[in-house]
């Protein structure tokens, strides 16, 4: 089948029978719900750009299974160039949408499984890789969006899965059948889950033998019986219900997260990619995390938007020539391009694994993501500094449209003669959205906690740095060793 376009993607979601709850009520029309729709639009952009000649090189590639042209989000990395293009694609889409476009986690899940299923088969004589490749071909040929589901609620963090008071706080197998398994549990913080055709479940931590029932990975259609979605709240989310097209800031795109419940869900054997191979759980977590930490190239694209908005509001305010404003814009670009350097470097230093799949440099991927936990917050702080207090005291769009108050807003919020007051309000709302509102979930908080906590990255940095080599270099230069 040819790659889907944006409209075909939307139509494919209408065919799903998802059970979604928001604000305590069932969402009957997930596709057209005004709160959820911007997140769908962001995913649709990944389909739209794949059909544009100017973006074809980044957005598409050739399947190593079928030789057919496919969307890069369904691809398994075959060389370092694939890894670099992935980073560049992330920046492009971040700039185009100003938010999370949600397909990275599925791509990263599939690449991690490509490596780990091979490794399990080599040691255990299983056939997980064969099952995975069959699933991958299905995803590629139908151009599907996959949600990668790793994060469990975890309960008491001091206890392993099997010692939790409630065993369902980690996804686990509750029944083994001749034709498959039955699983129960939940996955939290699932970005774009309701915009996905498939849910790919992975373990969330390294495990020991007592946790074997929790060492499970599988893929299942997103509308499988027993799967329920509860949409998380975001700051300013109900602005999308108010009508108008100014107060929400980003008029077209956004993100959403869900708690995904697996209430005794049946999974056939041909969709199971790990079952009780607990010794490989940590390997899958680390491989996925490395890929996904590279994926934060998207924050560079969103950073481009924040910098552009900051420069624009400085010009609208008549402050663009002030030396301190110029210096702040330079600092924003310095921070953003430093982030870009990180995601490109971990891709450029990638290597071929025994499975044939290329993996990023794990050390540099974690260094990159550690920077992502910090620099976006400074970018947001500077943007708010340049924007001024009006960003958070601005009256509503309805006040602007009101015959009683609109004339005063137009009068008292004007700046230079050639600056339209409405345009000034629009850019201020965008900065608010990016640094405080719904987009801040996908920019700031996701920069901090996405792909694991900052401490998880520091652990991986410590684990992957060759300290002996550094000590040897120092000792050689001062004569301790020769």
**209-254: per-residue pLDDT in tens?**
999 999 999 999 999 999 999 999 998 899 999 988 899 999 999 9
What pLDDT does residue 110 have?
98
* Average pLDDT over all residues of the chain: 97
- Does one domain contain both 138 and 260? yes
Place of tokens 């391009």: 337
Reading the block at residue 179, the tokens are: 């034709």
CA distance 364 to 367: 5
Q: 475 in a domain, yes or no?
A: no
Q: How many CB atoms lie within 10 A of CB 253?
A: 23
| Domain-ending residue, one of 231, 246, 278 | 278
User: Per the domain annotation, does 90 fall within a domain?
Assistant: no
In this prediction the pTM is 0.96
**Position with higher pLDDT, 1 vs 430:** 430
Residues 261 and 307 in one domain: no
Is the same domain home to 425 and 311? yes
The catalytically annotated residue of 296, 316, 340, 358 is 296
User: Is residue 362 assigned to a domain?
Assistant: yes
CA angle (446 as vertex; 3, 245 as ends), nearest 5:
70
Does the annotation mark 128 as catalytic? no
Share of the chain above pLDDT 90, in %: 96
pLDDT 10s digits, 318-328: 999 999 999 99
According to the model, what pLDDT value does residue 388 have? 97
Two tokens, residue 290: 């490395």
Phi and psi angles of residue 214, each rounded to the nearest 5 degrees, phi first: -95, -10
Domain stops at, among 215, 249, 278 = 278
Q: What are phi and psi of 369, to 5 degrees?
A: -70, -30
Whether residue 88 is contained in a domain is answered as no
Q: Band the pLDDT of 442: cuts 50, 70, 90.
A: confident
Contact 168, 184 (CB under 8 A): yes
State pLDDT tens for residues 256-288: 999 999 999 999 999 999 999 999 999 999 999
Whether 415 sits among the annotated catalytic residues: the reply is no
pLDDT of the residue at 438: 81
Same domain assignment for residues 43 and 108 = yes
- β-pairing, 20-22 vs 25-26, is antiparallel
Tokens 């305010």, located at residue: 317
pLDDT value of residue 441? 83
Q: If we measure between CA atoms, which residue out of 164, 120, 118, 1 comes closest to residue 356?
A: 118
Co-location of 232 and 339 in the same domain: no
Whether 220 and 328 share a structural domain: no
Per-residue pLDDT at 158: 96
- 397 CB contacts (<8 Å, ≥6 apart)? 242, 244, 245, 246, 247, 425
Residue 204 lies in a domain: yes
pLDDT digits (tens, 9 = 90+) for 335-382: 999 999 999 999 999 999 999 999 999 999 999 999 999 999 999 999
Catalytic residue among 99, 104, 146, 343: 104
DSSP string, 170-217: S-EEEEE-SSEEEEEEEEEEEETGGG-SEEEE--SS---GGGGGG-EE
Q: Supply the pLDDT for residue 58.
A: 98
Task: Check whether 27 has a pLDDT greater than 90.
Answer: yes
Residues in a beta bridge with 272:
218
Does 149 share its domain with 256? yes
From 118, 172, 292, 368, active-site residue: 292
Residue 104 designated active-site: yes
Quick one: 307 and 426 in the same domain? yes
CA dist 10 and 40 (Å) reads 8
What DSSP character marks residue 168?
A: G
Residue from 298, 316, 357, 435 carrying the catalytic annotation: 298
Query: What pLDDT does residue 243 have?
Result: 86
Full residue range of the structural domain in which residue 11 is found? 6-77+96-278
351/438 same-domain check: yes
382 and 328 in one domain? yes
Residue 440: the pLDDT is 79
Question: Are the C-beta atoms of residues 432 and 235 closer than 8 Å to each other?
Answer: no
Same domain? For 273 and 128 the reply is yes
Question: How much is the pLDDT for 210?
Answer: 97
In a domain, 232, yes or no: yes
What is the pLDDT at residue 415? 97
With vertex at residue 261, the alpha carbon angle to CA 113 and CA 217, rounded to the nearest 5 degrees, is 20
Residue 478 annotated in active site:
no
Clarify whether residues 179 and 228 are in a common domain.
yes
* Catalytic-residue membership of 100: yes
- Domain endpoint, select from 248, 278, 308: 278
Q: Across-strand partners of 259?
A: 230
Q: How many domains does the chain have?
A: 2
pLDDT at 327: 98
pLDDT at 439 over 90: no
**Residue 405: how many other CB atoms lie within 10 Å:** 14
Dist CA 75 CA 81 (whole Å):
13
Distance CA(216)–CA(250), nearest Å, equals: 39
The residue annotated as part of the active site, out of 61, 97, 151, 191, is: 191
d(CA 196, CA 128): 23
How many percent of the chain have pLDDT more than 70? 100
Assess whether 296 carries a catalytic annotation: yes
CATH number, domain containing residue 217: 2.40.110.10
CATH number for the domain spanning 346: value is: 1.20.140.10
Pick the catalytic residue: 10, 198, 257, 286?
257
Q: What is the pLDDT confidence band of residue 482, given thresholds at 50, 70 and 90?
A: confident
**Where do we find the tokens 């369902």?**
168
pLDDT at 183 over 90: yes
User: Is residue 89 in some structural domain?
Assistant: no
Distance CA 100, CA 43 (A): 9
Domain membership flag for residue 473? no
What is the band of 169 on the pLDDT scale with cuts at 50, 70, 90? very high
């Amino acid at each position: 089948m040819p790659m889907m376009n944006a409209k075909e993607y939307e139509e494919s979601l209408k065919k799903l029978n998802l059970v979604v709850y928001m604000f305590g009520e069932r969402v009957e029309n997930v596709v057209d719900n005004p709160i959820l729709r911007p997140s769908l639009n962001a995913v649709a952009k990944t389909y739209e750009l794949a059909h544009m000649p100017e973006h074809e090189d980044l957005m598409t590639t050739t399947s190593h299974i079928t030789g057919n042209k496919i969307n890069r989000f369904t691809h398994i990395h075959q060389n370092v160039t694939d890894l670099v293009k992935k980073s560049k694609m992330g920046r492009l889409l971040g700039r185009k949408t100003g938010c999370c476009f949600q397909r990275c986690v599925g791509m990263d899940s599939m690449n991690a499984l490509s490596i780990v299923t091979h490794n399990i088969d080599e040691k255990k004589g299983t056939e997980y890789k064969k099952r995975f490749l069959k699933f991958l071909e299905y995803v590629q040929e139908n151009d599907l969006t996959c949600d990668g589901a790793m994060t469990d609620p975890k309960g008491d963090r001091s206890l392993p899965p099997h010692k939790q008071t409630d065993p369902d706080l980690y996804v686990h197998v509750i029944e083994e059948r001749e034709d498959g398994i039955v699983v129960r549990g939940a996955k939290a913080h699932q970005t774009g889950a309701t915009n996905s055709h498939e849910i790919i479940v992975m373990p969330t931590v390294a495990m020991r033998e007592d946790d074997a029932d929790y060492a499970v990975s599988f893929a299942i259609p997103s509308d499988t019986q027993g799967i329920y979605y509860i949409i998380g709240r975001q700051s300013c989310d109900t602005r999308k219900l108010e009508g108008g097209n100014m107060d929400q800031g980003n008029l077209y795109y956004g993100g959403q997260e869900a708690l995904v419940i697996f209430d005794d869900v049946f999974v056939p054997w041909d969709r199971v990619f790990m079952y009780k191979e607990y010794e490989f759980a940590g390997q899958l977590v680390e491989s996925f995390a490395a890929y996904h930490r590279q994926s934060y190239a998207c924050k560079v694209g969103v950073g481009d938007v924040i910098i552009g908005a900051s420069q624009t509001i400085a010009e609208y305010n008549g402050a663009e020539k002030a030396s301190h404003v110029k210096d702040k814009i330079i600092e924003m670009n310095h921070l953003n391009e430093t982030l870009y350097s990180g995601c490109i470097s971990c891709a450029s230093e990638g290597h071929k694994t025994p499975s044939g799949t290329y993996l990023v440099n794990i050390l540099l991927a974690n260094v990159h993501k550690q920077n992502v936990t910090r620099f976006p917050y400074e970018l947001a702080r500077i943007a708010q500094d340049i924007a001024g207090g009006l960003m958070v005291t601005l009256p509503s769009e309805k006040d602007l449209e009101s015959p009683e108050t609109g004339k005063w807003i137009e009068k008292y919020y004007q700046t230079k003669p050639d600056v339209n007051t409405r345009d000034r309000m629009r850019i201020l709302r965008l900065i608010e959205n990016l640094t405080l509102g719904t987009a801040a979930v996908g920019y700031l908080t996701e920069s901090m906690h996405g792909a694991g906590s900052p401490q998880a990255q520091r652990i991986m940095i410590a684990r992957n740095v060759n300290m002996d080599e550094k000590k040897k270099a120092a000792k050689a230069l001062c004569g301790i060793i020769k």
